[in-house]
Amino acid sequence: MASVKAKAYINGKWVAGRGGVFPVHNPATGEEIMKIAECTKEDVQDAIDAASSAFESYKKWTPSQRAALLMKIHDLMDQKKEELATLLTTEQGKPKVEAMGEIQFSLTFLTWFAEETRRMYGETVPTSVKNKRFITVRQPAGVAACITPWNFPVAMIARKVGAALAAGCTAVLKPAEDTPLNSLFFAQLCEEAGVPAGVVNVVTCSRDRVQEVGALLCDSHKVKVVSFTGSTAVGQWLYSRCGPTVKKLALELGGDAPFIVFPSAKLDQAVKDAMFIKFLNCGQVCVSANRVYVHESIHDEFVSKVKQAMMYNIKQGNGLSNTFNQGPLVNKKQHERCTALVRDAVSNGATIEYQAQKGDGDLFFPATILTGVTKKNPIAQQEIFGPVFSVLKFKTEEEVIKCANDTERGLSGYFYTEDIAQAWRVSEAMEVGMAGINAICIDTAETPFGGVKMSGLGKEGSRHALDDFTNDKTICWGNL
């Protein structure tokens, strides 16, 4: 496993946390990996001050300088991806092949944002006033607080910190308490790449201090942007907390994705894709298929095919072994939640059609397929974030669209059909930020990622990603 420094990274230095240390565990084995810095709000204030001071010089860097810096980080991550993948699997639990895929995905964002530095275009604005000329320019917003999740920690660092650096912002990175080691590895990459002191800072803390650290990032007038990926509940708290300082806020929150299979669908492809998007990272994915709607005429055949696929393809265990393709849930809270949702569904009439063999460890949850689920079941109303396939029947297109949209969340949605007219109707009717037509891999560095309703604000990736980290300024030249 990669060697990781156990201290916080503030103003170009490795410093001990004033709160001591806290342990990081391997969810597959329960073993302690190492103890790292427990940062207090005083440590976080140091990081904010360092980022604010560094911003005064970094904001003046040319696009080519910022691009070169991002590509240095990219190249170092690429060179050390084997070490990073092992570290990611050890602290997060996902299989090594998925960890490597996440790192490759992260590299595409670093490349994209390096290229985007040169495309921060302004405008020349025609006006009816004869003796004036108007232009707009985009300028970096300032210090960005980047709060990353535990399910795709490396990718979210690349998305958030990469965009911040491309825009000319400095960053204070606060990783999830379950998976902080990859962020310290990233800090080591930044140090080796020659990132100036204070431009990237990493503060780590346990769950006990999350609220005080988050509050300071929201309350500080020096922090101009808060970018967060995580639960809707925490996003709501951050939203309200940032109000008094009127920050720019980017929120990528919970999903409740529908996966619809119409009668004309190529069934084998739908089964294959449903398996992938449901069981990726043991179901701990914000764009995971949360509610699988299957037309009543093909329901039984679909369920049978999924059951067969699960029997032959799901093998749970320690992701560091090539023998296994599904890891554990990340912590006890996630395991208890999945257990409660399945128990409730069964007690209210749902049937467990099949459960795969559970991995050897307390945090493994057996991959499960449920039928007879109704929209009234909590499992059909909440983000599951676990390897549970909930199947619901439908009769008509109108009915299933109504059911798919009957949620306060709207991140992604998928449907399978060979009817072109239906493809247009459904893609336009779905209340989501991203819709997949006969496709599940709908997230790339070049395209905007984000949801509607209570799934968040703003877009990550694409040319729109820098909007959250920049301010538009209008410049008027008069008396011409």
Active site residues: 252, 286
HSE of 478, CA atoms in CB hemisphere, 13 A: 3
424-456: b or e for each residue (b if 16 or more CB lie within 10 Å)? eebeeebbbbbbbbeebebbebeebbbbebbbb
Task: Compute the C-alpha angle 416/422/426, nearest 5°.
Answer: 75
The bridge status of strand 248-252 relative to strand 223-229 is parallel
Task: Compute the C-alpha angle 245/248/253, nearest 5°.
Answer: 110
Give the residue from 439, 297, 255, 288 showing the smallest Cα distance to 367: 288
Query: Tokens 């590299």 sit at which residue?
Result: 107
